[in-house]
Each structure stands twice: as structure tokens, then as C-alpha cells.
């Protein structure tokens, strides 16, 4: 028996407003033995029923306007078919649109100048559980992830600090460089309340200013002294 028969076929549903593009993609995908095109249509209210009936592994969408505005196809598809993976094709290189797609749960992002071979490759990869984006947008994705991780680390609880959750949060916001006024605005507190919190923190850990507070909390975070041993 040929090994090709042992590879599960990927079921694909295509939603594309442009009829010529839709028909061309169907012809291209249908030629691949490992891909089964279970539906292709422009947008209409009936598309959701068709998606539920066909239960595709991958949904191809060709328009950011169609996906992100009006009916919000990406959100609706993820709600009714949580196991389906969404690939957006014919996309622009701009970072805001790309990040919007990522936030909406899109797992494949293909630029408008992509060829048929690339689209097929992305479908295969996404169906196998991978996430795919153009190489030109990878630096933006890594930069965003680094910024997110840095912020998460900055506001993470400080182990064995003796500080309350609120006080740990305040220390984290100072790490981000926020002033008392900015912290008050973010947490919906008065500036006086924020100042009082910091005075209590200073007393707890035995310091007199913000810089010393950050140094002491960093030492505790690294496994050094605690407020009890520092007293």
C-alpha cells in the first residue's frame, strides 16, 4: 500500500469574495492528494451553516475587511468551530493588520503576492498544528513577544517579599518607569493613595526611596534577603 494513503487528508473550506480567485484556488488545492476541498463560497449568511456541516480542518479567508469588520468571520468561526484553524490569504505587510489577525486567533498569514505553492505549504503546516507568518513580519512578532514578556515579568509577584498583591503590583509598575500620577491613573487610585502605599512599602523592606526599593526587591526576586532578614 502506498504511504500517501496513510497520511490523513486535510479538509479545507474557502471563503473568498472574488469568484476568479476562489475558483483558481479550488483547482490548485484539489490537485493535491492530501487536501480535500469541502466547500468554497463568497460571504453569505449561509456560510456558517456550511462550515458547521463540513467541519473543515482549515478555513481560508481572503479579505481582512471581511474577516475583521461587519460579520467578524474570524471570531464567529472560532466560536462555532473551535477546532478549525484559520488562514488569511491576500494580506498586506503592515504590522497593525498582522497583529490584529494574531489577536483574533488566525494561525496562518499569507501575503497577497504569495504563490500557489506557498499557500498549499501554509495549509499543510497549519493543519499539522503550526503557526505560520511571512518572514518579513517575524521580527515584529518576536519584538512584540519580548515586550509582553518584559511587562509580565515587571508586574509579576515578588517571591517572599512580605508585600501584599497590590504592593507587588505597584513595585512592578515602578519597574516599567511609571510616575505616581501615571500609576494612579492606571489603577484608578488617587495620587495620595499611591504615595501612601509606597511609604508603607519603604517601611516594610527598610528603604527610603524608589531606587533602593527596586534594588531590594530585585535582590529578593533573585533569592537574596527578605524584609525579615533585612530588618
Give percent of the chain above pLDDT 90: 28
CATH number for the segment(s) 3-138: 3.40.50.2300
Mean pLDDT score of the chain: 81
Over residues 196-204, the mean pLDDT reads 90
Q: Are the folds of 3-138 and 147-230 the same?
A: no
Q: What is the pLDDT of residue 4?
A: 47
pLDDT at residue 154 above 80?
Answer: no
What pLDDT band is residue 165 in, cutting at 50, 70 and 90? confident
pLDDT at residue 3 above 60?
Answer: no
pLDDT at residue 12 above 90?
Answer: yes
- DSSP for 84-138 reads -EEEEEEE-S-HHHHHHHHHTT--EEEETT--HHHHHHHHHHHHTT--B--GGGH
Q: Are 230 and 206 in contact (CB under 8 A)?
A: yes
pLDDT at residue 226 above 50?
Answer: no
What pLDDT band is residue 122 in, cutting at 50, 70 and 90? very high
Q: What is the pLDDT of residue 111?
A: 92
The ranges assigned to domains in the chain are 3-138, 147-230
* Between residues 9 and 228, the one the model is more confident about: 9
Domain covering 147-230, topology:
Arc Repressor Mutant, subunit A (1.10.10)
pTM here is 0.62
The residues pairing with 109 across neighbouring beta strands, listed in sequence order, are: 88
What pLDDT band is residue 109 in, cutting at 50, 70 and 90? very high
Q: Are 62 and 15 in contact (CB under 8 A)?
A: yes
Q: What is the pLDDT of residue 215?
A: 83
- Buried b / exposed e over 34-45, threshold 16 CB at 10 Å, is ebbbbbbbebee
Q: What is the pLDDT of residue 67?
A: 57
CB neighbours of residue 21 within 10 Å: 15
What's the pLDDT tens digit per position in 37-61? Answer: 999 988 877 888 999 999 999 999 9
Region of poorest pLDDT, from 10-14, 86-90, 125-129, 153-157: 153-157
Q: What is the pLDDT of residue 214?
A: 85
- DSSP for the chain reads --GGGGSPPEEEEEE-S-HHHHHHHHHHHHT-TTEEEEEEE-S-TTHHHHHHHH--SEEEE--HHHHHSTT-HHHHHHHH-TT-EEEEEEE-S-HHHHHHHHHTT--EEEETT--HHHHHHHHHHHHTT--B--GGGHHHHHHHHHHHHHHHHHTS--TT----HHHHHHHHHHHTT--HHHHHHHHT--HHHHHHHHHHHHHHHT-SSHHHHHHHHHHHHTT---HHHH-
Amino acid at each position: 500500500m502506498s504511504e500517501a494513503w496513510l497520511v490523513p487528508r486535510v479538509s479545507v473550506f474557502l471563503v473568498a469574495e472574488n469568484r476568479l480567485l476562489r475558483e483558481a484556488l479550488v483547482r490548485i488545492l484539489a490537485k493535491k492528494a492530501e487536501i480535500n476541498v469541502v466547500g468554497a463560497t463568497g460571504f453569505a449568511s449561509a456560510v456558517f451553516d456550511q462550515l458547521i456541516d463540513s467541519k473543515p480542518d482549515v478555513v481560508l479567508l481572503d479579505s481582512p475587511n471581511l474577516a475583521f469588520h461587519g460579520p467578524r468571520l474570524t471570531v464567529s468561526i472560532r466560536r462555532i468551530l473551535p477546532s478549525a484553524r484559520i488562514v488569511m490569504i491576500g494580506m498586506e505587510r503592515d504590522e497593525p493588520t498582522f497583529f490584529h489577525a494574531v489577536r483574533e486567533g488566525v494561525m496562518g498569514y499569507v501575503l497577497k503576492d504569495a504563490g500557489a505553492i506557498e499557500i498549499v505549504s501554509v495549509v499543510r503546516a497549519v493543519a499539522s498544528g503550526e503557526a505560520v507568518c511571512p518572514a518579513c513580519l517575524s521580527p515584529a512578532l518576536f519584538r512584540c513577544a519580548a515586550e509582553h514578556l518584559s511587562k509580565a515579568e515587571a508586574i509579576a509577584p515578588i517571591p517572599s517579599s512580605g508585600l501584599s498583591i497590590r504592593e507587588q503590583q505597584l513595585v512592578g509598575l515602578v519597574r516599567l518607569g511609571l510616575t505616581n500620577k501615571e500609576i494612579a491613573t492606571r489603577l484608578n487610585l488617587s495620587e495620595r493613595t499611591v504615595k501612601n502605599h509606597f511609604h508603607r512599602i519603604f517601611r516594610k523592606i527598610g528603604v527610603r526611596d524608589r531606587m533602593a526599593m527596586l534594588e531590594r526587591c530585585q535582590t529578593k526576586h533573585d533569592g537574596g534577603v527578605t524584609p525579615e532578614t533585612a530588618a
